[in-house]
């Protein structure tokens, strides 16, 4: 069963800093330019902890970014920049945004921040939907060991057609404690909920739910492994004065999550495009010719990213499709179901029908010869949200070939996850992202 808990969060002290100058996008969505901008915003911006720049070190105590992150985190707590809540609480969290690529369509996504119990996937409480990469997990484990705190939330989906949490937590007349507009013009608002009765009702309502990780697979698996390392022989409570509230058996047994109802409005999934680089003896004509084994291939006489994505979307409404971008031209690849079904017979039927599975299993691995290990290590592969950027990298020689993708649908994600299957890495890109630094879960 899913377990949620209130917690005494560390939060930025608004009397000492501007919260909007300190919060960030998730660490894996911070570009080098964004990293520099965050550094310039405030000496207390969270980027200094979650994605520190390799600055000149001034002594042994600053030997690496993780040691420096731990030092800064400790200093900010001692100076009161980060203040700990008196009462265990959960936090209603709203994000209002314009859907990218739409005609100014505005949506609001509602959820709540709380601690969530950690479960092995085998327990069938928490379900993943995509594979993970080794480098991010190693990086996040080093940061967790150094700081003993969680700074961002795992994005969790659950199903509740009755909208229990939304009706319980959101009061249109309530004034938010935090209101921030981020660099993507997303309005983030947060309200603290400390009333024990409300928290207990919510905990009970989610007890029978199954959870799907939308974003944060690497951090979830890192937290799970860390939890196992620190499980005491006789677990004890990590909270004080919480006799009437649920609480984790020990601090590392839970991680900070944002829970979002997959049956509510506001869930948007964007495509994640693939850029392939560093291949030896790459020839676009040969690859396109080989692709005809599995795909009907049509050359598209356009260099406009919007046009290419529109063409891809139209083709994908009937069969799975990919758009290959090369210096020799752009090519629409429309799947041949029977041929692909035989070639990917080792996968489940659900997986075989996914364009990302077809791309990885057939094009990347078989036609381009990129090994699964190289894909995991991102040796020859980059993942990009913007089609224009992917096309530019091919045009200026930074990449050999790019593949534009259609987004995974919510129904595909739900079916794959609950069946115990997984998609390739970086198959989904939920928009908007959850801001890091709205609340912090310290383990000490």
| C-alpha span between 304 and 388 (Å, rounded) | 8
Sign of the alpha-carbon torsion through 295, 298, 304, 309: negative
Task: Mention every residue, 6+ apart, whose C-beta is less than 8 A from residue 432.
Answer: 95, 97, 109, 182, 184, 186
- What is the value of pTM for the model shown? 0.89
Token reading at 393: 């990298």
Token reading at 11: 């939060």
Residue 297 Cα to chain centre, angstroms:
33
Neighbours of 429 (CB within 10 A): 21
Q: How would you label 142-153 residue by residue, b for 16+ Cβ within 10 Å and e otherwise? A: bbbebbbbbbbb
Q: What are phi and psi of 361, to 5 degrees?
A: -70, -35
Q: What is the pLDDT of residue 236?
A: 58
Task: Kindly tell me if the per-residue pLDDT of 321 is higher than 90.
Answer: yes
Structural domains of the chain in order of their starting residue, each with its CATH number: 4-268+432-442 (no CATH), 272-406 (3.30.1760)
pLDDT digits (tens, 9 = 90+) for 339-361: 999 999 999 888 899 999 999 99
Nearest to 118 by CA among 261, 256, 258: 256
Nearest to 433 by CA among 183, 223, 219, 117: 183
Neighbours of 178 (CB within 10 A): 21
Residue 383, classified by CB atoms within 10 Å of its CB into exposed (0-12), middle (13-18) or buried (19+), is middle
pLDDT digits (tens, 9 = 90+) for 231-278: 987 755 544 444 478 899 999 999 999 999 999 989 999 999 999 999
Q: In the chain, what is the straight-line distance between the N-terminal and C-terminal CA atoms, in Å?
A: 26
Q: What is the full DSSP assignment across 165-216?
A: HHHHH--TTPPPSEEEE-TT--EEEEEEE--HHHHHHHHHHHTT--EEEEE-
Q: Are 416 and 3 in contact (CB under 8 A)?
A: no
- Give the CA angle between residues 65, 113, 43 to the nearest 5°: 35
Task: Kindly tell me if the per-residue pLDDT of 338 is higher than 60.
Answer: yes
Q: What is the pLDDT of residue 103?
A: 80
pLDDT category of residue 77 using cuts at 50, 70 and 90 = very high
Helix-helix angle 65-79:134-147, to 10 degrees: 40
**Greater pLDDT, 77 or 130:** 77
Q: What is the pLDDT of residue 62?
A: 53
Nearest to 442 by CA among 191, 252, 228, 186: 252
Percentage of the chain exceeding pLDDT 90:
82
Percentage of the chain exceeding pLDDT 70:
96
Task: Kindly tell me if the per-residue pLDDT of 157 is higher than 60.
Answer: yes
pLDDT category of residue 61 using cuts at 50, 70 and 90 = low
Task: Kindly tell me if the per-residue pLDDT of 67 is higher than 90.
Answer: yes
Q: What is the pLDDT of residue 378?
A: 84
Mean model confidence pLDDT for the chain: 92
Task: Kindly tell me if the per-residue pLDDT of 425 is higher than 90.
Answer: no
Q: What is the pLDDT of residue 375?
A: 85
Gyration radius of the chain's alpha carbons: 23
pLDDT digits (tens, 9 = 90+) for 96-146: 999 997 888 999 999 999 999 999 999 999 999 988 777 788 899 999 999
Q: What is the pLDDT of residue 25?
A: 97
Q: What is the DSSP letter of 341?
A: H
Task: Kindly tell me if the per-residue pLDDT of 82 is higher than 50.
Answer: yes
Q: What is the pLDDT of residue 55?
A: 64
Token pair 């069946």 is found at: 419
């Amino acid at each position: 069963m899913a377990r949620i808990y209130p917690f005494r969060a560390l939060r930025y002290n608004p009397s000492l800093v501007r919260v909007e100058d300190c919060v960030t996008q998730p660490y894996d969505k911070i570009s080098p330019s964004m990293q520099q901008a965050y550094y310039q915003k405030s000496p207390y911006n969270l980027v200094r902890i979650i994605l520190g720049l390799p600055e000149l070190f001034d002594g042994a105590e600053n030997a690496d970014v993780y040691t420096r992150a731990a030092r800064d985190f400790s200093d900010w707590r001692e100076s009161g920049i980060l203040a700990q809540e008196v009462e265990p609480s959960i936090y209603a969290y709203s994000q209002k945004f314009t859907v990218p690529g739409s005609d100014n369509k505005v949506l609001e996504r509602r959820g709540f921040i709380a601690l969530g119990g950690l479960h092995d996937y085998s327990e069938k409480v928490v379900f993943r939907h995509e594979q993970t990469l080794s480098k991010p997990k190693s990086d996040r484990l080093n940061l967790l060991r150094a700081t003993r705190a969680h700074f961002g939330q795992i994005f969790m989906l659950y199903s509740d057609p009755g909208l229990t949490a939304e009706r319980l937590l959101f009061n249109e007349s309530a004034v938010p404690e935090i209101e921030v507009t981020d660099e993507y013009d997303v309005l983030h608002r947060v309200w603290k909920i400390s009333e024990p009765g409300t928290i207990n009702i919510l905990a009970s309502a989610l007890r029978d739910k199954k959870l799907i990780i939308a974003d944060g697979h690497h951090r979830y698996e890192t937290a799970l492994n860390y939890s196992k390392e620190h499980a005491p022989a006789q677990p004890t409570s990590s909270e004080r004065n919480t006799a009437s509230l649920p609480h984790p058996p020990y601090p590392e047994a839970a991680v900070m999550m944002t829970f979002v109802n997959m049956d509510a409005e506001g869930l948007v999934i964007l495509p994640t495009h693939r850029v392939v680089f560093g291949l030896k003896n790459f020839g676009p004509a040969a690859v396109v010719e080989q692709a005809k084994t599995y795909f009907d291939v049509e050359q598209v006489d356009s260099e406009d990213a919007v046009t290419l994505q529109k063409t891809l979307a139209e083709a994908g409404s009937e069969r799975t499709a990919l758009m290959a971008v090369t210096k020799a031209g752009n090519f629409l690849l429309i799947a041949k179901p029977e041929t692909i079904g035989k070639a990917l017979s080792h996968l489940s039927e659900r997986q075989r029908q996914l364009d990302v599975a077809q791309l990885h299993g057939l094009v990347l691995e078989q036609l381009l010869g990129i090994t699964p290990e190289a894909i995991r290590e991102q040796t020859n592969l980059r993942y990009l949200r913007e089609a224009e950027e992917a096309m530019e990298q091919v045009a200026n020689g930074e990449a050999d070939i790019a593949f534009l993708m259609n987004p995974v649908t919510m129904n595909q994600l739900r079916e794959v996850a609950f069946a115990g299957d997984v998609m390739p890495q970086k198959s989904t890109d939920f928009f908007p992202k959850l801001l890091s630094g709205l609340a912090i879960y310290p383990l000490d």
